[in-house]
Chains A and B, each alone.
Chain A
Amino acid sequence: MSRRPSSAPKFAAWRFWVVSLLLLTLCSLLIGRLVLIQAIDKDHGSEFLKKQGAMRAVRLAEIPAYRGLITDRRGEPLAVSTPVVSLWANPAHLTDSGRLDELAAALNISVGDLRKRLALYGDKQFMYLARHQTPDQARRVLDLKIAGVRSEREYRRFYPAGEVVSQVIGLTNVDGQGIAGLEKAFDEWLLGHPGKKRYLKDLHGDAVRDIGVVTEARPGKELALSIDLRLQYLQHRELQRAMVETGAEAGAAVTIDAWTGEILAMTNHPVFNPNSRAGFDYAATRNRVVTDAFEPGSTIKPLTLVAALESGKFTIDTLIDTSPGRIRVGRKVLPDPSNYGEISVSRIIEKSSQVGVTKIAQAIGHEPVLDVYRRFGLGVSSGIGFPGERAGIVPNRERWSDIEKVTLAFGYGLTATPLQIAHAYTVFANKGLRIPLTLLKRSPEQTVDGERVVSEATASEVLTVLGRVTGEHGTAKRARVDGFSVGGKTGTVHKVGAGGYIDDQYLALFVGIAPMDNPRYVTAIVVDQPKGDAYGGGAAAAPIYSRITNGVLRLRNAVPAIEAPTETRLVALGGGQ
């Protein structure tokens, strides 16, 4: 039955058509599918497929941006972003690695710890091995070329001036956000905005090539402070020295250029090292100059004097009888250290006589005093925008007892920060104008509008009295500075404890203005709980003021009042601005 094929195969038309049809069908299927993917199907079309492809190969990487530099007024760096390397790993890849011993040794941790952490993050794709390593440290680990260990570039804050200016500058957290001090206050300004770039990765996760920058990294902006690092260091050194000498618990100092409102130096004790978080004491990060409000005591008497002079009932030469050296107000007896007899208003401030001030307060009433306090900015925050700044309290009550009316005039029953007190004193140096404070550098051309708080005549009279406080009869002879005349006011305040005033714990205060012939620099000193007999403002705080002001005037090129020499000698000159 088998047929032998013919030698010349016969063309079978139907076969040709079948094959053609088959091929045509396949071809049109392909074309149809293409059209479907490219043009018709939106959900699973080309976009979807591209996305799927990208998900497998294209990655976004962060381009780190550095945080803005903080400098002092002369351009010395105070806070700098420095490049560091963070090491990370994919726990899934690393757990089975046979080189954990090597890795742990390079990271300076025990193998046990490393295993524990790998187990903890076992179900994750990412864990940090070590953050913020110096590039050299990181290189040592990366040079081992252990599979699964990767690096990431970041910036870390470094503070070249260390503890000297630590409370003012503040801190950033590990992610580079400001969490304290000026780092927090100006976070928006300083913050760098990291950029993004797109890159292709291979199977191992290594970058093969960059496709392009999605957003440029925008580094943070620079911030120039009004602080002068030289003065800051000087103040820091004198304050620390005084803390040792007086055995005090804490202290604070601030120096203001009254003419421009710039804060030139602001220091605190205790201090902390911002470059090391080991043994970190959060209490030491407090910038006491702005965060601690207390009763200003006698340092407020110049403001009472303003109220007295403005009342028209007193001049600085009006005589007041302070004998017998004590006065009864309500149930309380206010004593003077001794019976001063009949003395002038000026001498009352020089001696800081409670009896004298009480008589003035009783004569003018408490309202004018309160009014002066408010005009001088007490009870209102200073406007420098420092995080945690306190505004202090100026009481505003309906009924005033006799004793309250009087104690208000000598600085009890209200609270203020050292900065507020210093700011109030700048008014006397500015002929009655109150210029807003700043921690940022003001350019010399920049004019700042002051607010008139008292008349020029009154300001100059108070200034005269302040100059006498450091004189022969005053309480602050130890505040004197060689070659310059300085003025100021002492204060010794009982500390407040759980049960009211504590008998043997004091705050010693001094606020001074220098130089008196051309008043410009206001410095406030607070010594918290000085030990021993030298606990008063004149004994504990005034000497610090003297040493600090000596340096301030020298470094700021103030001209000392010295007699013309009879012989020629070498001339010692201070530095520039």
Chain B
Amino acid sequence: MALNRQSMMSALLVTLCLGSALGVIYSSHVCREFYAALQELEAQRWASQEQYSRLLLEHSTLASPHRVLGLAEDQLQMHAPNVESTRVVTR
């Protein structure tokens, strides 16, 4: 009987050991997956920053006061209002 109990015990231990081994395999797999996701996100962040700086460059070129002023004056024939064409509205 003692032998039987012993073998049951060792069977249990072997099972636990195997289970933990499988657990390690699983968790390292998950870890790898997460790491892949992290790298994906970091790449995305980098790409977004790249795009941001490209857009910023475009924005600063298109919206530079120099260009806006030129467009307003030349194409749209606009000008800053002089005193004669200004009226003050009091609330």
Interface residues of A (CB under 8 A from B): 66, 77, 80, 82-83, 135, 153, 158, 160-162, 164, 209-210, 229-230, 233-234, 237, 482-483, 551, 554, 559-560, 562, 565, 569-572
User: Is the pair B46, A560 in contact by a Cβ cutoff of 8 Å?
Assistant: no
Number of A-B residue pairs, CB cutoff 8 Å, is 69
Give chain A nearest CB distance to B77 CB in angstroms: 15
Are A562 and B57 within 8 A (Cβ)?
no
Across-interface contacts of B60 in A (CB, < 8 A): 77, 160-162
- How far, in whole Å, are A570 and B89 apart by their CA atoms in the complex? 10
> How many Å from the CB of B33 to the closest CB on chain A?
12
Give 20 pairs: A residue, B residue, CB < 8 Å, sorted on A.
A77-B60, A82-B52, A82-B57, A153-B46, A161-B60, A161-B64, A162-B64, A210-B39, A233-B65, A237-B69, A482-B83, A560-B88, A562-B83, A562-B86, A562-B87, A565-B87, A569-B87, A570-B85, A572-B85, A572-B86
Q: Which of B30-71 contact A (CB under 8 A)?
A: 32, 35, 38-39, 46, 49-50, 52-53, 56-57, 59-60, 64-66, 69
Classify the secondary structure of B's interface with A.
Answer: helix
Report the minimum CB–CB distance from B56 to chain A (whole Å): 6
Contacts of B82 in A (CB 8 A): 482
Q: By the criterion CB–CB under 8 Å, are A569 and B85 in contact?
A: yes
> Are A135 and B86 in contact, CB atoms less than 8 angstroms apart?
no
Choose one: B35, B56, B85, B88; the contact of A77 (CB below 8 Å): B56
Q: Is B57 in contact with A158, judged by CB distance below 8 angstroms?
A: yes
Known: A230-B65, A569-B85. A160 touches B59 (CB 8 A): yes
* Bound Cα distance A104, B52 (Å): 30
Other than the given A82-B49, A572-B87, 17 more pairs (CB < 8 A) read: A80-B53, A82-B50, A82-B52, A82-B57, A83-B50, A83-B53, A153-B46, A158-B53, A161-B64, A162-B64, A164-B65, A209-B35, A237-B69, A551-B80, A562-B83, A570-B87, A572-B86
Q: Which residues of B contact A153 (CB under 8 A)?
A: 46
Interfacial chain B residues near A82, Cβ < 8 Å: 49-50, 52-53, 56-57
Q: How far is the CA of A565 from the CA of B89 in the complex (A)?
A: 11
Contact A210 B35 (CB under 8 A): yes
